[in-house]
Amino acid sequence: MATLILEPEQIRKHNEAFLESHGSPMQGMGTLSAEMEKVVRRLMDFQVAIPSWALGTGGTRFGRFPAGGEPRSLEEKISDVGLLHLLTGSADSISLHIPWDQTGHPGEMVRAANAHRLHFASVNSNTFQDQPGQKHSYKFGSLQHEDPATRAQAIAHNLEVIRLGRELGSKSLTVWLADGSSYPGQLNFRRAFQRTLEGLRLIYEALPPDWKLFIEYKAYEPHFYSTTVGDWGQSLLYAGKLGPQAFTLVDLGHHLAHTNIEQIVALLLMEGKLGGFHFNDSKYGDDDLTVGCIRPYQLFLIFHELVEGMEERGMDPLADMAWMIDASHNLKDPLEDLLQSIEAVQIAYAQALLVDQDALDRAQQGNDIVEAQEILQDAYRTDVRPLVEEARLRAGAALDPVGLFREAGLRELLIRQRGAGARATGL
């Protein structure tokens, strides 16, 4: 068994004390209606993957201020996700980034994850940085590169990530390419697209039959003029040409300002091509802030499209969609930030489940815009936090995860164990 820095007994005591001072979460909501009961059960099932690269402090290009006690190894990253899962009951997997998380010992990686009741979510390849000793540089792209040897190296890396993912029990590969250009004239757009497609094809052909390929898009950064998978249209174009195992992945921070992400979600779902999510929030660009901290209403509207669209297609919210957080934290404690992100995702999901779909449908058909808005905002303005707490209570998780994290002095404990200067790998 894994060594836990938090014992289930501490959770039990915390919950007892919480119930004594606050009463039961559902108090004040009357008897639990069948509808509320359904939401609680859906919340108990819902799981969101934690990215291995979000467990330490993220830097900006101006600096980095470590939190102290950051995980120094994959084992410690797994242990941190195990702690998040213990506290919330809703984070049962970790998404790895290769080579950042490569240890060369997949058997031990699996054992470490199992000891924390975790499994491996999507594996991510990295052809946006040069690694020590790497033969060909990705300075001018990877799959789009003019040099066939550089392209071959990038393809080989992705195949290596699939091989490792198979040993870990992952079921998908997420490809995010930094390929693009920073100056007009630098790139022939069509050639860049064709080469990237050719590379993705070879990667796609190496997928096991029960795997998915997620193609993540991003409007800009690191390149500032064009990105070779720059928006959902381009990602969908690649996914469509590749075949049924290829899907688009939506990272909320990867759009131009004011983009209607909920509409993108609706149409990708309609096309059966929405594969997964990277949740975060932003004010200006790819800010990677805590989920729901800036635009919670937009998050709710996205979840509304997800709930409605998945139901319409008879999709299973767990098996048919990859839910992942992709945030970074340069001010907050990374674990506290992730606890807030998990809760924000659950809140938006619960609110979306409360939308009266039939009434909304009637209002839409009758062009009753006022009623349609009332229906959506009625769900959005419902305080669903007691439902989220109830789901955690029933799952044996903490009623107040951030509160317990602080009460139990877990960051201080991690600093004592790992050191104040311990730094996580990643960006």
Q: Using CA of residue 226, residue 232, residue 236, residue 237, what is the dihedral sign?
A: negative
Our CB check for Mn ion shows the closer of 88 and 280 to be 280
**Residue 53 interacting entry, from ligand PSV, Mn ion, none, C-beta within 5 to 8 Å by type:** ligand PSV
Contacts made by residues 21-29, CB under 8 angstroms, sequence distance 24+? 22/399, 24/390, 25/385, 25/386, 25/387, 25/389, 25/390, 25/393, 25/399, 26/386, 26/387, 26/390, 27/386, 28/386, 29/386
Residues in Cβ contact with 149 at an 8 Å cutoff, skipping those fewer than 6 apart:
135, 136
CB neighbour burial string for 238-276, b if at least 16 within 10 angstroms, e if fewer = bbeebeebbbbbbbbbbbeeeeebbebbbbbbeeebbbb
Tokens encoding 402:
């951030």
Our CB check for Mn ion shows the closer of 171 and 278 to be 278
Work out whether 278 is an interface residue with Mn ion (CB under 5 A). Answer: yes
Work out whether 101 is an interface residue with ligand PSV (CB under 6 A). Answer: no
47, 90, 124, 235: residue in contact with ligand PSV (rule CB under 6 A): 124
Our CB check for Mn ion shows the closer of 218 and 418 to be 218
Q: Using CA of residue 163, residue 168, residue 170, residue 176, what is the dihedral sign?
A: negative
Q: How far is residue 387's CA from residue 346's CA, in Å, rounded to a whole number?
A: 10
The distance of closest approach from Cβ of residue 324 to Mn ion in the complex, given in angstroms and rounded to an integer, is 8
x-or-dash pattern for ligand PSV, window 278-317, by CB under 6 A? x-------x-------------------------------
The distance of closest approach from Cβ of residue 382 to ligand PSV in the complex, given in angstroms and rounded to an integer, is 31
The distance of closest approach from Cβ of residue 99 to ligand PSV in the complex, given in angstroms and rounded to an integer, is 13
Binding span for Mn ion by CB under 5 A among 233-241, 298-306, 319-327, 330-338: 319-327
The distance of closest approach from Cβ of residue 286 to ligand PSV in the complex, given in angstroms and rounded to an integer, is 6
Our CB check for ligand PSV shows the closer of 279 and 300 to be 279
CB neighbour burial string for 203-216, b if at least 16 within 10 angstroms, e if fewer = bbebbeeebbbbbb
Binding span for Mn ion by CB under 5 A among 4-12, 36-44, 249-257, 258-266: 249-257
Work out whether 53 is an interface residue with ligand PSV (CB under 6 A). Answer: yes
Per-position DSSP letters for 367-427, written without gaps between them: T-HHHHHHHHHHHHTS--HHHHHHHHHHTT--SSHHHHHHHTTHHHHHHHHH-TT---S--
The distance of closest approach from Cβ of residue 20 to ligand PSV in the complex, given in angstroms and rounded to an integer, is 43
Q: How far is residue 180's CA from residue 142's CA, in Å, rounded to a whole number?
A: 9
Our CB check for ligand PSV shows the closer of 176 and 300 to be 176
Our CB check for ligand PSV shows the closer of 252 and 376 to be 252
Q: How many CB atoms lie within 10 A of CB 370?
A: 8
Work out whether 218 is an interface residue with Mn ion (CB under 5 A). Answer: no
Work out whether 110 is an interface residue with ligand PSV (CB under 6 A). Answer: no
Work out whether 390 is an interface residue with Mn ion (CB under 5 A). Answer: no
The distance of closest approach from Cβ of residue 140 to Mn ion in the complex, given in angstroms and rounded to an integer, is 22
**Contact between residue 327 and residue 54 where contact means Cβ atoms under 8 Å apart:** yes
x-or-dash pattern for ligand PSV, window 186-225, by CB under 6 A? ------------------------------x-x-------
100, 120, 138, 176: residue in contact with ligand PSV (rule CB under 6 A): 176
Q: How far is residue 403's CA from residue 309's CA, in Å, rounded to a whole number?
A: 35
Work out whether 326 is an interface residue with Mn ion (CB under 5 A). Answer: yes
Work out whether 427 is an interface residue with ligand PSV (CB under 6 A). Answer: yes
Q: List residues binding Mn ion (CB under 5 A).
A: 251, 278, 326
